[in-house]
Amino acid sequence: MKKLIMSLGLAVALLGPLAPAARAWGIFGHRVITQVAVYELPGSMQAFYYRHLPELVRQSTAPDERRAEDPQEASRHFIHMDHFSEQNPFAKVPRAYEAAQEKFSADTLRKYGTLPWTIIETKNKLAAAFSTRDTLSIIRYSAELAHYVEDAFAPLHTTLNYDGQLSNQNGIQALWENQVPERFLTTYKLDGEPAKVLKNPLEEIWLVVQNSYGFLTATFDLETQASKGFTPQTKYSYAHQLVVGVGKGIGVAALGAAVAVGVAVLGLGRETLA
Q: How does pLDDT run across 173-232, given as a tens digit for each residue?
A: 777 777 778 888 888 888 777 888 889 999 999 999 999 999 999 989 988 887 887 776
> What order of strands is seen across the sheet that includes strand 3-6?
196-197, 3-6, 264-267
Q: Is there a contact between 164 and 222 (Cβ–Cβ < 8 Å)? A: no
Cβ within 8 Å of residue 150, ≥6 positions away: 11, 13, 24, 25, 30, 33, 34, 261, 262
Q: Is 24 helix (H, G, I), strand (E, B) or coil?
A: coil
- pLDDT, residue 236, reads 58
- CA–CA gap between residue 25 and residue 146 (Å, rounded): 12
Residue ranges covered by each domain of the chain: 3-273
Q: State the CATH architecture for 3-273.
A: Orthogonal Bundle (1.10)
Q: What mean pLDDT is predicted for residues 58-70?
A: 95
Answer for the pair 123, 264: CB distance below 8 angstroms, yes or no.
Answer: yes
Q: Are 196 and 6 in contact (CB under 8 A)?
A: yes
Q: What angle do CA 203, 61, 137 make, to 5 degrees?
A: 75
Reported pTM: 0.79
